[in-house]
Amino acid sequence: RDEFLYLDQLYHRTEIPELKERYREKMLEFTLGNPDKFRSGTWALFHVEPEEYSEQTQFRKLDQAHTNYFSGPSLAILGSGEGVDRRGLLIRGGPNLPHSHDDSLALYYYDKGLLLTQDNGYYIFGSPLHYGWGSQAASHNLVVIDNDKYRYGWYKSGPGADLLGFADLSGLKYVYLNNPHQFPRFIQEYSRLTALIDINDKESYVFDVFTVDGGKRHDYMFHTGAPIMETDVEFQNIPDVWTLAGLDDKDAPYNVIGQSYGERIISGDMIRDLGIASEGVKSMYWNPPPGNGYGFIYDLKEALLTEKMFEASFKYYDGLDTTLTNRLFFDQDTTIYKGLGPNLSGTEKYPYIILRSEADKDHQSRVISIMDASLGLSSIAEVKRFDENSFVVEFFNGDSHFILLNSGKAKTPAGEFVSKAQFAIAKFNQQELANIAIVGHGEVKLKDIVVTANQFQTKILEVNYEKSQVIVDGLLDLEVGDLVAIDNDDYKRNTVYRVSSVAKKEDKTVLDLEGSMVIAKGTVAKGTKYVDLNTPLPRGFSYDKSTQYLDGKLFVREKTNESEIIKRTNGFKNVYLAGDINFEPQDSFVIYDVKVGDTLSNLPTAIWEK
């Protein structure tokens, strides 16, 4: 409604006819032809004349949902459907910059007109609710490692995620991100493989795999914006434990009924002070102990699982019977907890599921989630797991989807389905095979059908920065719109571009890439190897720590075209170069995202259709 208010004000205030018509069209599109439904408040009362709006069918359906990947913030958007039936997923890999939340690889799921996987956001920067809860990893849908002790300051710092796979296919949207870079080096993997898979034109479901390698304790967190969770699993109270933090510290003052931070939220983003000296309650820049948000999750209960899976329905009771059903499968021995987590004002509380697994060291865990949103009964009748890498999703109408991860195999109505690819799916209409799709290098076999996706790697031989053009070795099988990943041992993560044109030149391929390869530019204050700048580098540094986002990138003195590799970013306005450049004060510089010698690879997909 806030966005509509700005649009409505533009429409009423402009005196330019062309703009007025454009704002009117957007206003009608935004409100599905009924602006008065969105109008409220004093401004509308005094500035809007009553007007008849006939219902126009052109505004009953909005644009088709989009799927895209934005490399700078390593942000993936997966979308399907159109109009009111649009649904989508959003996952951000980072880097974390000032005012970020600690939500790298958190999953945001949109369907039925709602953000289903609730997010707190924040009201007042630096308040106990912002610092201690809303910005914490624990309040998001992701995995917390080792009680989040690797967080430094407001969040964990790092360059962002590597993109390992991506697909924008009919009926299948897919992304695979890995971001161990925000942790110490012994955390080898922190990845999320996520697919949005269509059931029909109006419905999709989510197939999601979260894998972590390293550390000792992994807490898989999941919650929605629904007030009620229903499950057949019976949860029991835990003696002397009221909060998630109480599992480690039963004597903590916030581990008592009525004294958890989630129950003590008062106006102004504050925590009610109980006069307990050890808590040290403050109004600003205070992170309530134990400092990871676990003291906000209360009414903790535990359940004994007889198998390595859990299913629950999250009910909105909104008059439409909006329901999110989640089916969780896990490989490792796991303890499951249920608790309540608050919104920022404390007026609402949401059921949280925590899957905890532990090892003495080098712990590995994987959680697979298959979830969907429905108005009433889900279209999914049952989900079966054949082995650790193969599943079938069966629907009430008789259709079925067989999903395989690498090395998975399953018996289908058309024969044995075997995969040696990152991800594969075979869709059946009743008992008849409709199509097969794979993502990532490898092949799948289903009886006599073989589907192959080939990944290649090649070196960048030349770069034209003005044209965003690279020349690479070999004749590559690429098309306009394909994504290519560019990497180098000097970089902390890969970077990704979309191909805008392809040309062959002798034994080489010329690729024009969308967007600019310039990631920073400005002027130098002084220095030769340790260089002070007049221009801040916001993506390279966050508060008092380097993000490592610029490490390995090419730093160029524009006057002479001299260049050196960035070894380290020491501050918002300071870089350490691999070699000396004799800068003069006010020399202009530019930092490029790509350089000669980088490795370029494709992100392959393949489809078979009957």
Whether residue 287 is contained in a domain is answered as no
| Rounded Cα distance, 91 and 167, in Å | 14
Same domain for 327 and 223, yes or no, is yes
Mean pLDDT across 290-311 = 96
CATH number of the CATH domain containing 553:
2.40.10
Give the residue among 241, 243, 289 at the shortest CA–CA distance from 263.
243
Same domain for 113 and 213, yes or no, is yes
* CB-CB contact of 455 with 443 (8 Å): no
* CB-CB contact of 565 with 554 (8 Å): yes
What is the full DSSP assignment across 279-290?
T---SSS---TT
CATH number of the CATH domain containing 495:
2.40.30
Q: Which two tokens stand for residue 277?
A: 């000296």
Q: Which two tokens stand for residue 461?
A: 């031989």
Q: What is the pLDDT of residue 54?
A: 61
Q: What is the pLDDT of residue 525?
A: 96
Asked if pLDDT for residue 158 goes beyond 70, the answer is yes
For tokens 């920067």, the residue is: 125
| Confidence class for position 152, pLDDT limits 50, 70, 90 | confident
Using alpha carbons, list the distances in angstroms from residue 548 to 90, 184, 218, 519, 541.
24, 13, 25, 14, 8
Tell me which of 453, 483, 506 is where a domain ends: 453
φ/ψ of 426, rounded to 5, equals: -120, 120
Same domain for 487 and 580, yes or no, is no
Mean pLDDT across 549-557 = 97
Q: Which of 14-23, 323-332, 507-516, 594-603 has the lowest mean pLDDT?
A: 14-23
Q: What is the pLDDT of residue 58?
A: 53
Tell me which of 375, 398, 430 is where a domain ends: 375
| Confidence class for position 83, pLDDT limits 50, 70, 90 | confident
Q: Would you call 58 helix, strand, or coil by DSSP?
A: helix
Give the residue among 339, 245, 343 at the shortest CA–CA distance from 295.
245
**Residue 23 belongs to what domain range?**
2-59
Sorted by sequence, the CB contacts under 8 Å of residue 279 that are 6+ apart come out as: 253, 254, 273, 288, 289
Q: Which residue type, as a one-letter code, is found at position 426?
A: A
Q: Is 322 exposed, middle or buried (0-12, 13-18, 19+ CB in 10 A)?
A: buried
Measured in whole angstroms, the distance separating CA 501 from the mean position of its chain's CA atoms is 29
Same domain for 397 and 446, yes or no, is yes
Q: Would you call 321 helix, strand, or coil by DSSP?
A: coil
Asked if pLDDT for residue 208 goes beyond 90, the answer is yes
SS3 content of the chain, % helix, strand, coil (to 5): 10, 45, 45
| Rounded Cα distance, 221 and 238, in Å | 19
Asked if pLDDT for residue 101 goes beyond 70, the answer is yes
| Rounded Cα distance, 60 and 83, in Å | 7
Mean pLDDT across 311-339 = 95
| Confidence class for position 97, pLDDT limits 50, 70, 90 | confident
Mean pLDDT across 61-74 = 86
Whether residue 444 is contained in a domain is answered as yes
Whether residue 122 is contained in a domain is answered as yes
| Confidence class for position 53, pLDDT limits 50, 70, 90 | low
- Computed over every residue of the chain, the mean pLDDT equals 93
Share of the chain above pLDDT 90, in %: 83
Same domain for 20 and 100, yes or no, is no
Q: Which residue type, as a one-letter code, is found at position 226?
A: A
Mean pLDDT across 587-602 = 97
Q: What is the pLDDT of residue 598?
A: 97
Same domain for 150 and 106, yes or no, is yes
Q: Which residue type, as a one-letter code, is found at position 434?
A: A
| Confidence class for position 44, pLDDT limits 50, 70, 90 | confident
Whether residue 275 is contained in a domain is answered as no
For tokens 């000396």, the residue is: 580
Q: Would you call 606 helix, strand, or coil by DSSP?
A: strand
Asked if pLDDT for residue 415 goes beyond 60, the answer is yes
Same domain for 483 and 604, yes or no, is yes
Beta bridge partners of 366: 211
Whether residue 273 is contained in a domain is answered as no
Same domain for 191 and 87, yes or no, is yes
| Confidence class for position 339, pLDDT limits 50, 70, 90 | very high
| Confidence class for position 2, pLDDT limits 50, 70, 90 | low
Sorted by sequence, the CB contacts under 8 Å of residue 135 that are 6+ apart come out as: 100, 101, 102, 122, 154, 155
Q: How many CA atoms lie within 13 A of 295 on its CB side?
A: 26
Whether residue 86 is contained in a domain is answered as yes
Q: Which two tokens stand for residue 113?
A: 């007109």
Share of the chain above pLDDT 70, in %: 98
Beta strands in 274-414 (DSSP E): 298-303, 309-315, 322-330, 335-342, 349-358, 364-375, 380-387, 390-395, 400-405, 409-412
Structure confidence by residue, pLDDT tens digits, 375-408: 999 999 999 999 999 999 999 999 999 999 999 9
Mean pLDDT across 583-605 = 97
N-to-C CA span, the chain:
46
Tell me which of 453, 480, 495 is where a domain ends: 453
Same domain for 316 and 364, yes or no, is yes
Same domain for 191 and 78, yes or no, is yes
The total number of structural domains in the chain stands at 5
| Confidence class for position 464, pLDDT limits 50, 70, 90 | very high
Whether residue 380 is contained in a domain is answered as no
What is the full DSSP assignment across 61-130?
S-PBP--EEETTTTEEEEEE-BGGG-EEEEEE-----TT--S-TT-EEEEETTEESS-----SSTTSHHI
Asked if pLDDT for residue 55 goes beyond 70, the answer is no
Q: What is the pLDDT of residue 40?
A: 76
Whether residue 143 is contained in a domain is answered as yes
| Confidence class for position 57, pLDDT limits 50, 70, 90 | low
Same domain for 202 and 175, yes or no, is yes
Q: What is the pLDDT of residue 45?
A: 81
Q: Which two tokens stand for residue 575?
A: 């870089």
Mean pLDDT across 500-519 = 95
Structure confidence by residue, pLDDT tens digits, 234-250: 999 999 999 999 999 99
Same domain for 143 and 15, yes or no, is no
Measured in whole angstroms, the distance separating CA 423 from the mean position of its chain's CA atoms is 19
Asked if pLDDT for residue 42 goes beyond 60, the answer is yes
Q: Which of 34-43, 310-319, 498-507 has the lowest mean pLDDT?
A: 34-43
Asked if pLDDT for residue 203 goes beyond 90, the answer is yes
